[in-house]
Structure formats: structure tokens, C-alpha cells
Amino acid sequence: MPELESFRVDKHDSIAEVSLCGPGKGNAMGPAFWRECPGVFEALDRDDDVRAVLVRTDGPHFTYGLDLPAMMGDLGPLLGGEGAAATRTRLYDKILELQRAFNAVAACRKPVIAAVNGWCIGGGVDLITACDVRLCSADARFSVREVRVAMVADLGSLQRLPAIVGEGHARELAFTGRDFPAEHALRIGLVNEVFESQDALLGGARALARSIADNPPLVVQGIKQVMDEAIAPQVARGLRHVAAWNAAFLPSGDLGEAMSAFLERRPPRFFGK
């Protein structure tokens, strides 16, 4: 793989560990993340020496999600008040481009395990719902945060989360944007197991990856493809729909208020405009 800015990939004995190590605070997902993520997972998909993939971080937090300040150079010109078709089309294309990152994770034929510690916010939930299995440490905290910044989540959570936790839990988390702890994530089925510490989490995740990698690789890949077939078409339709929805409706007075409130470090006041 070429030199990476937001990821480190280590391969040993048929298991690839993909570590989030972006330059943004809390592994926030900036331009390098979106540029590199598809290539990382497409390469692992093609690598016959890899039988299982583990996504993790060395830092105190999995990810703070989208690095909005770093992304404003790309997104800012597309979020203005002008409703010209050309601008809306470019925003639609940009959303599809960002979706490609997590689609590559989901499409990787090798089972992907997410090991979450610390905060996992917004785009972090998009990422882990594109993985096959999720584990976390006791200090993990999650949030489908987009509603709190006047956005409809458009990178996969709304499409993949209901199949993992059920419609009721998924809707509650998306409607409220509330933070929830590891115990709640376990109770609703977002994660399979909670470990006492980050070290214990890494050990458990590596043991799970090993147990997968020791099985016949083509059979394991076949299991994943057969199980994915039931939800993949629905996810693809939902992603296209939310891209079109946000291309039309994401630029709003409430979005501007959310940005101003963030910069001014105050609670936002939304008026449905």
C-alpha cells in the first residue's frame, strides 16, 4: 500500500489490523481519511493472504467522526443557500464519494471486526455498522450525532443500524442523537461483548479474528456474501435516497445555526428553516 496518513495497516499470520491514526483530534475523519479508506479495504479484499480484518485505534478514542473544519474546503461551497441544480448535483456526487469509504468496508469479502474504545461518534458509527462484528471496551461511548448538527446521517448508519439493533432502537438513537455507553450498546446488540480495558479489548478482538482466520477462507467469505445478499440491495437504495435527500435539503437555516453554535460554543436554537 502507498504511504497512508489516516491509517496504519499491519499484517501478520493472515490477519490485517487497520489502525485509525488520523491527524485530526480524536481520529476525526478529514480529507485524508475519505481519500484513503476505500483503497485500504479494496486492497485487503484482493489480498489472498488476509483472512480477517481488525479495525482499531492506539489512541484513547476510536473516532470523533467527521472533521467538519478540515472538510469545509470541500463541503463549504456546496452548502450555501443557492439552490442551483449544478450545486445540488455536486453535493449529491460528494455524498456518494464519501459513502464509498464505508461501502468499501462493507464490501470487503474478509470479515471485518471493529474494536471500539473511547468515543465513537457520527461517522464512527457509520464505520462500525459497515463492519461485521463489533466489540468495545467499558469506556466506549457512542452517538449517532448528526441530528444534533441539523443533518440527516447520510453515510450508512440509517441504512445498516436497523438490521443490527432493530428499528426501534435505531430510530431512537437517530432521532435523539444522544450519547450512550458501552452497557447500552451491548444491551441493544450494537456490540457483541464489552471488555474491561482497551488492552483486554484488543486481546479479545485478536482472539476472535484468529478463530475466524483458522476456518476455511473461501467458506467464510461465502457465508459473508450470502448473509449480505439479504440486506445489500436495501442498503444501496437507502444510500442513494439519502444522498438525493441531503443534496436537496441539507443546506438550511438550521444547519447554519448549528455551525454558528459550534463555533460560538453555545447550544443551537433550531426553528425548522
16 pLDDT band, cuts 50/70/90, is very high
Question: 273 in a domain, yes or no?
Answer: no
Element of type H or E holding 189: none
Which amino acid, residue 129?
T
Our count of domains for the chain comes to 1
Distance in angstroms (rounded) separating the CA atoms of residues 118 and 62: 6
Question: 205 in a domain, yes or no?
Answer: no
Question: 208 in a domain, yes or no?
Answer: no
Indicate if the pLDDT at residue 141 is higher than 70: yes
Question: 119 in a domain, yes or no?
Answer: yes
> pLDDT tens digits for 101-118?
999 999 999 999 999 999
pLDDT of residue 129: 98
Indicate if the pLDDT at residue 79 is higher than 60: yes
What residue numbers bound the domain in which 127 lies?
A: 7-198+215-264
Q: Kindly report the CATH number assigned to the domain that includes residue 235.
A: 3.90.226.10
Question: 93 in a domain, yes or no?
Answer: yes
Question: 143 in a domain, yes or no?
Answer: yes
Q: Which three cell numbers stand for residue 30?
A: 478529514
Q: Which three cell numbers stand for residue 169?
A: 432502537
Residue 81 backbone phi and psi in degrees, to 5: -80, -15
Task: Tell me if residue 154 falls in helix, strand or coil.
Answer: coil
Question: 207 in a domain, yes or no?
Answer: no
Which amino acid, residue 7?
F
Question: 269 in a domain, yes or no?
Answer: no
> pLDDT tens digits for 218-237?
999 999 999 999 899 999 99
How many CA atoms lie within 13 Å of 189's alpha carbon, on the beta-carbon side? 12
